[in-house]
Amino acid sequence: MTSMRVAMIGYGFMGAAHSQGWRVAPRFFDLPAAPEMGLLVGRNGGRVAAAAEKWGWAETSTDWRQAIARDDIDVIDIVTPGDSHAEIAVAALEAGKHVLCEKPLANSVAEAEVMAAAAARAAEHGVFAMVGFTYRRVPAVTYARQLVASGAIGDVRNVRAEYLQDWLVDETAPLAWRLQKEHAGSGALGDIGAHAIDLAQFITGQRLTSVAGTIDTVVAERPLLAEGSGLSGTAGTGRGAVTVDDVALFSGRFEQGALGAFVASRMSTGRKNALRIEVSGSRGAIAFDLEDMNALSYYDDTAPADRRGFTKILVTEPEHPYVAAWWPAGHMLGYEHGFAHQAKDFVEAIAAGTQPTPSFADGLQVQRVLGSVERSSEAAGVWTAID
């Protein structure tokens, strides 16, 4: 079997999740090529060495350009903050490396356009890029898309999608990079709202064509970060401005006419990682909640009236997407399995010489939705077309 040697740039929270995906996927799925955890890259040599030791990467480097220049690297996996996605991804694609890039694709529509153009050029030479909207690979979510496509809920009439977290309710939580526009691009909107947008479009099979919304920063200033990254850390001395949104609310119009209501919030007290979606159709409905991720609720409006009601389907049967590779029926899967499914799907597509999904063009389209929500908010919530 051929091997596919991966260099991962970045080693924070998403680095741990991707490492788990690369490690586990070839052990549970029969893959056409074996992903190898070749090289872990980060700016701090000591820290990157410790992360590589912990997660099982063979080598380390402090220079992503050297990683891209190496002949023995096939895949560049980007798990850095959004401010470096474009530069790394474009350089990697131009060097002939396949790319997996964390979401949102970029910090702006302009950057995402450059990335999607580079991906389109590379694809002509059999070099492919994918953006990591991992929740598509939660079995219940993939199954929800299959149900909707099979006509089980009829025509989509209405969508409600929300991604709720509460890690910023605490006003003393420090100013991590996710709260700084120059690093993260946007706040709740881009970080978690992007997932809700992707999920809504993925499950319905329809794109949003226009949006109207408002974004809000609830806590305008926070203590500077002394130590830590990602979602947590210890506060140091001094304070700094929060330059991204804490909450984003918007309406969206889908291409076949249905309206959607979206919420992305890091201020939803008590909600830790609640990515929820409900799709109501002319013959039924489906509902999913990431905090109960092994289940999908299904309502069949064609059932006899005295037997109607949301049925909680445990998506843990071997017939369900991805599940057969894991445990016997009813033995639950968790957050990290999505990253193994992502690695599996990526390797399979690359080995077959086909475009993995979601592509950078898909990532660009989500970025355009995010940009349109921001423009709508600046224009007092006016309906704004997605370019």
Nearer to ligand SOE (CB atom), residue 17 or residue 285: 17
Nearer to ligand SOE (CB atom), residue 54 or residue 272: 272
Count of other CB atoms within 10 angstroms of residue 126: 11
Dihedral over alpha carbons 189, 140, 75, 354 (to 10 degrees) = -110
CB of 8 to ligand SOE, least distance (A): 16
3-state secondary structure 31-57: CCEEEEEEEEECCCHHHHHHHHHHHCC
Nearer to ligand SOE (CB atom), residue 39 or residue 274: 274
CB of 133 to ligand SOE, least distance (A): 9
Nearer to ligand SOE (CB atom), residue 243 or residue 273: 273
Nearer to ligand SOE (CB atom), residue 231 or residue 261: 231
Residue at token pair 């979510």: 141
Residue of closest CB approach to ligand SOE: 191
Q: Both tokens of residue 32?
A: 């056409």
Instruction: Count CA atoms closer than 13 A to 261's CA, side-chain side.
Output: 5
Q: Which residues, at least 6 apart from 264, have a Cβ–Cβ distance to it below 8 Å? A: 162, 163, 188, 189, 191, 192, 193, 196, 247, 248
- Quote the CA–CA distance of 199 and 288 in Å, as a whole number: 10
Nearer to ligand SOE (CB atom), residue 156 or residue 370: 370
Positions in the binding site for ligand SOE (CB under 6 A): 13, 165, 191-192, 231, 273
Taking the CA atoms of 334, 15, 98 and 101 in sequence, report the sign of the dihedral they define: positive
CB of 178 to ligand SOE, least distance (A): 7
CB of 339 to ligand SOE, least distance (A): 10
CB of 131 to ligand SOE, least distance (A): 11
CB of 22 to ligand SOE, least distance (A): 17
- Quote the CA–CA distance of 187 and 95 in Å, as a whole number: 32
CB of 290 to ligand SOE, least distance (A): 9
- Quote the CA–CA distance of 246 and 265 in Å, as a whole number: 6
**Adjacent-strand bridge partners of 131:** 101
Nearer to ligand SOE (CB atom), residue 40 or residue 275: 275
Nearer to ligand SOE (CB atom), residue 229 or residue 273: 273
CB of 220 to ligand SOE, least distance (A): 19
Nearer to ligand SOE (CB atom), residue 61 or residue 165: 165
Closest CA to 246 of 232, 264, 231: 264
> Which amino acid would we find at residue 48?
V
Measured in degrees and rounded to the nearest 5, phi and psi for residue 28 equal: -110, -25
> Which amino acid would we find at residue 345?
D
Burial (CB count within 10 angstroms: exposed 0-12, middle 13-18, buried 19+), residue 375 = middle
CB of 314 to ligand SOE, least distance (A): 23
